[in-house]
Amino acid sequence: MILEAFADPGSEESVLLESIDAGRLPRHIAIIMDGNGRWAGMRKLPRVAGHRSGTESVNDIVESCRRLGVEILTLYAFSIENWKRPKLEVRTLMRLLKEFIRKETRKVNENNIRFQAIGRIHELDDSVREELRHITELTERNTGMTLNIALNYGGRAELVDAVNLILSKRNDGGTDAVTEEIISNSLYTAGLPDPDLLIRTSGEMRISNFLLWQIAYSEIYVTPVLWPDFRRKHLLEAIAAYQRRDRRYGGI
């Protein structure tokens, strides 16, 4: 853990760090980034202001997870259901996404972070897919933290796609019975461990069709903090709460 370098002595962050066992960090943290619109509405700002401020939280949490030594961070950025939002808001979200990727590509690569996009990426606009292709190819050999961005993502859609992938292999002559391992290896997150900790901001008590298969035994932490206000201190609070729990995976 190398977060101490920018935690002021005596600060809340410093106290939280002292309570965290570096040997029991969650390997994989997933976050439902919720509350951008409400954050903007509370300030009588357009919703886009909340989305733009939310990118600052992304930067802070990615950097904090990297310094802590978290192996995988998965962020829920845009769901399949989000297409129902006003067209102007959707276009703005896609523009912000492209701006964010262009701005952060060099930093992500220099910090040895491997970038992946999960979801029905093929349905996104060509310009978005090109930005994703560039950062993915540039960072694919990096060996540090893996950063997954869930785009045009839905947990049910992922399971449908996994089943269709399995069926396509059956058509090629496969005959093995379907197992949990086969399903896991057919998901967008194939090859990655399931999330240990799922964080949801904004206080909503639902999982919003996110990683339905993968979070079967994840510890869930809900905070009332809206995503644009979520920072390193709140991440440390979530990890400290995670470490106080007894994970039994259905046992005693």
Contact 226, 35 (CB under 8 A): yes
Q: Give residue 212's pLDDT band: very low, low, confident or very high (50, 70, 90).
A: very high
Q: What is the pLDDT of residues 119-174, one digit of tens each?
A: 999 999 999 999 999 999 999 999 999 999 999 999 999 999 999 999 988 776 66
Report if pTM > 0.85. yes
pLDDT at site 73:
98
CATH of 26-155+194-243, one of 2.70.98.60, 3.40.1180.10, 2.30.31.70, 3.30.750.200: 3.40.1180.10
Query: Residue 1: is its pLDDT beyond 60?
Result: no
The residues spanned by each domain of the chain are 26-155+194-243
Q: Catalytic: 229?
A: no
8, 21, 34, 36: which one is catalytic?
34
Q: Give residue 187's pLDDT band: very low, low, confident or very high (50, 70, 90).
A: very high
Q: Catalytic: 34?
A: yes
21, 59, 60, 82: which one is catalytic?
82
Q: Which amino acid appears at position 144 of this protein? A: G
